[in-house]
Amino acid sequence: MEAVIEMDGFMELRDNDLIAVDGGINWDRVYAGTMGEVGIIIAVAAAPEITVPILIAGLIGSAASGAYVGYGLATN
């Protein structure tokens, strides 16, 4: 005779089941990327003179912040 324990509607998840869990948008990355972009805009606007190194740093920072926002929206 085998004892059966009721699970009250719960089920055991295997690895394949856990892979399919959708976590949604990663809002902390979206926020961090947006604040990074705002910081870069403020820094470039506050610069007394726009030189090539400032322009390059602004563009690289803007691309990195945009990528961080995009990855935050795309990750599950």
Read off the pLDDT of residues 28-65 as tens digits, 9 standing for 90 and up.
889 999 999 999 999 999 999 989 999 999 999 999 99
Give which of 63, 62, 71 is closest to 42, Cα–Cα: 62
- Alpha-carbon distance 58 to 40, whole Å? 6
pLDDT at 14: 75
Q: Tens digits of per-residue pLDDT, 8-33?
A: 667 777 777 766 666 678 888 899 99
Q: Is pTM beyond 0.85 here?
A: no
